[in-house]
């Protein structure tokens, strides 16, 4: 990679309306190699990602409130699960959590749309990954009129207030829109039907949803334009090439953790005294050496 950070290349500028038709889903901003090199570079980010994540957790034990929330949005077959499998898996599993938001239950529908989201937020030191999110409440809900316009229209500002509050509480938000072309989606849906290990992912409704593609594009453009801010940026990730998608998301994660800059906390106990105690214990209870045993 050369020049600008991946974050700078893919981040949407607040105040500039998003036009997805101008963004090539097969582009590879910031990367000039192919599949193999991308794979090698993602693998090489494993150690730095895990290290930064460990620092994030360590810092939280000393009171730091920082945490990271990765929101992954995109149509069916855009690669939301793939990002989890190939990139999020590089983080420390103990301090990561992944949540998939599907059609709300009856109980969830009785509450405000953010109710189920709040329950899954990361605690300090954690990275949480949302596979779909509160954005569905201005995407699928808007496209299919699952609520009246008065209801979903008020949600954009409610989301902005919610995300501003999260940022103020130490949540670093990274919102990803995985951008694929309808042609690639068709190829992937077709591949699902010819792979017995992928049939479970196929839902006949997914094909019907394709006829709503232009309405989803509109709904995404409004959400991406209205709900982006300095503390809650959207990144549009060209995702026709799975290898670029993973490469870009790995860099976005790394850059977000680097921006937090977590540090290992110093000891909150008397280090010298503890060392002396352990040294003393070693002298008393060390197992006898072979030499000592022979002499005895």
CB-CB contact of 158 with 118 (8 Å): no
Q: Binding residues for Mg ion, how many (CB under 5 A)? A: 1
In the 8-state DSSP scheme, what is residue 171?
Answer: E
Contact call for residue 66 and ligand AMP (CB under 6 A): no
Q: Binding residues for ligand AMP, how many (CB under 6 A)? A: 11
Structure tokens, 98: 């992944």
Contact call for residue 189 and ligand AMP (CB under 6 A): no
Integer Cα distance of 154 and 57 in angstroms: 36
Three-class SS of residue 138? helix
Contact call for residue 293 and ligand AMP (CB under 6 A): no
Integer Cα distance of 187 and 173 in angstroms: 32
Helix extents (H) in the chain: 6-10, 35-44, 46-61, 80-86, 106-109, 115-118, 140-143, 149-168, 182-193, 204-209, 213-226, 242-260, 271-285, 290-295
**One of 103, 118, 165, 275 touching ligand AMP (CB under 6 A):** 103
Nearer to ligand AMP among residue 137 and residue 246 (C-beta): 137
Contact call for residue 141 and ligand AMP (CB under 6 A): yes
Q: Which partner from the list Mg ion, ligand AMP, none does 104 bind, CB cut-off 5 to 8 Å by kind?
A: ligand AMP
Site for ligand AMP in 3-62 (CB under 6 A): none
Contact call for residue 246 and Mg ion (CB under 5 A): no
| 114-118-120-124 Cα dihedral, nearest 10 degrees | 150
Over the window 76 to 95, marking each residue x when it contacts Mg ion by CB under 5 A and - when it does not, the resulting string is x-------------------
Contact call for residue 272 and ligand AMP (CB under 6 A): no
Applying CB under 6 A, the span of 39-47, 122-130, 135-143, 285-293 interacting with ligand AMP comes to 135-143
Structure tokens, 65: 């409130």
Residue nearest to ligand AMP (CB): 136
Integer Cα distance of 49 and 86 in angstroms: 13
Nearer to ligand AMP among residue 9 and residue 147 (C-beta): 147
CB 137 to ligand AMP: min, Å: 5
Which residues are paired to 130 by β-bridges? 71, 99
Q: Which residues bind ligand AMP (CB under 6 A)?
A: 76, 101-104, 132, 136-137, 140-141, 146
């Amino acid at each position: 990679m050369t020049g600008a950070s991946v974050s700078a290349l893919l981040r949407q500028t607040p105040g500039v309306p998003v036009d997805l038709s101008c963004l090539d889903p097969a582009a590879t901003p910031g990367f000039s190699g192919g599949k193999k090199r991308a794979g090698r570079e993602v693998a090489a980010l494993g150690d730095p990602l895990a290290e930064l994540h460990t620092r994030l957790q360590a810092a939280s034990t000393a009171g730091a409130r920082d945490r990271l929330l990765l929101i992954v949005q995109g149509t069916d077959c855009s690669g939301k699960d793939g990002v989890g499998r190939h990139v999020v898996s590089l983080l420390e599993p103990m301090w990561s959590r992944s949540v998939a938001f599907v059609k709300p239950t009856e109980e969830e529908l009785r509450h405000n749309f953010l109710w189920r989201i709040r329950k899954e937020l990361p605690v300090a030191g954690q990275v949480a990954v949302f596979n779909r999110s509160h954005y569905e409440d201005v995407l699928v809900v808007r496209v299919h009129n699952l609520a009246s316009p008065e209801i979903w229209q008020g949600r954009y500002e409610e989301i902005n207030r919610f995300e501003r509050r999260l940022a103020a509480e130490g949540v670093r938000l990274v919102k990803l829109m995985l951008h694929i072309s309808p042609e690639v989606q068709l190829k992937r849906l077709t591949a699902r039907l010819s792979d017995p290990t992928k049939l479970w992912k196929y839902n006949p409704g997914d094909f019907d949803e394709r006829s709503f593609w232009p309405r989803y594009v509109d709904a995404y453009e409004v959400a991406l334009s209205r709900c982006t801010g300095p503390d809650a940026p959207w990144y549009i990730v060209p995702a026709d090439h799975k290898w670029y998608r993973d490469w870009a998301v790995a860099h976005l994660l790394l850059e977000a953790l680097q921006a937090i800059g977590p540090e290992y906390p110093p000891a909150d106990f008397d280090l010298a005294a503890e060392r002396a105690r352990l040294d003393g214990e070693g002298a008393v209870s060390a197992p006898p050496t072979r030499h000592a045993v022979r002499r005895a």
